[in-house]
């Protein structure tokens, strides 16, 4: 059975549940004010934490040529980018902003072999700011697919201080596989070969593992 929350969230959820139980025992002693309100407040916090770390199942479209979004969120920008050595050519970058209410599990846009994993420490500017893509803490995952390379970049934000990336170099991933998680508000960039037509634009909402964002073209 699949647990409907990301594994990184389990310690936080269990801690909140334990605190709620202790608060309930404290409240049994009677009295009003904070003593009686604490269990309800902590239970609400537990539910919020569980909601943030939710990890729903996703179904990718049947057409294997479609590249799916690596994350839930809002498309901030779509445009060309150069000097990305893993891509080996001018690429198209799709930038997705995840607010605190979005699902924060990232998924593989296309199946292939992980040929690069790179982590770089950095600052924690707000993820929607332009400089966040250059200066913030980030992890990059380069995937070699049968049709060409692509790269998923996880970028920490103002409140996001922990990036988890599951695959490492040499691993194989399938389209829609879970590849990582960023805690709290953050940003994910997807770099694609410029010849692949992109089907999303700024302002669109996407769902990781489900929403087509581009199509493979030889």
Q: Which residues pair with 2 in a beta bridge?
A: none
Q: Which helix (H) or strand (E) holds 16?
A: helix 10-27
Which positions ≥6 away from 213 have C-beta within 8 Å? 67, 68, 69, 94, 109, 190, 198, 199, 200, 206
Q: Which of 36, 60, 77, 186 is catalytic?
A: 186
Whether 199 is catalytic: no
Lookup: tokens for 55: 């990890």
Neighbouring C-beta atoms of residue 180, cutoff 10 Å? 23
Residue that is written with structure tokens 């073209």 in the block: 217
Lookup: tokens for 194: 């410029």
Angle between helices 10-27 and 34-52 (to 10 degrees): 160
**Active-site amino acid positions:** 186
């Amino acid at each position: 059975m699949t647990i409907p929350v990301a594994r990184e969230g389990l310690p936080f959820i269990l801690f909140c549940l334990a605190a709620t139980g202790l608060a309930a025992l404290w409240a049994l002693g009677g009295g009003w004010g904070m003593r009686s309100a604490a269990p309800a407040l902590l239970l609400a916090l537990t539910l919020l934490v569980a909601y943030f770390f939710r990890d729903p199942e996703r179904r990718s479209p049947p057409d294997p040529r479609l590249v799916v979004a690596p994350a839930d969120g809002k498309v901030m920008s779509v445009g060309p980018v150069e000097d990305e050595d893993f891509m080996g050519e001018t690429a198209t970058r799709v930038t997705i902003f995840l607010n605190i209410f979005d699902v924060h599990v990232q998924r593989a846009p296309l199946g292939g072999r992980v040929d690069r994993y790179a982590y770089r420490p950095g600052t924690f500017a707000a993820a929607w700011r332009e400089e966040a893509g250059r200066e913030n803490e980030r992890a990059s995952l380069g995937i070699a697919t049968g049709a060409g390379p692509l790269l998923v970049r996880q970028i920490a934000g103002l409140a996001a201080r922990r990036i988890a990336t599951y695959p490492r170099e040499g691993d194989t991933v399938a389209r829609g596989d879970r590849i990582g998680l960023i805690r709290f508000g953050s940003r994910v960039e997807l770099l694609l070969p410029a010849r692949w037509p992109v089907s999303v634009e700024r302002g669109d909402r996407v769902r990781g593992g489900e929403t087509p964002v581009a199509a493979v073209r030889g």
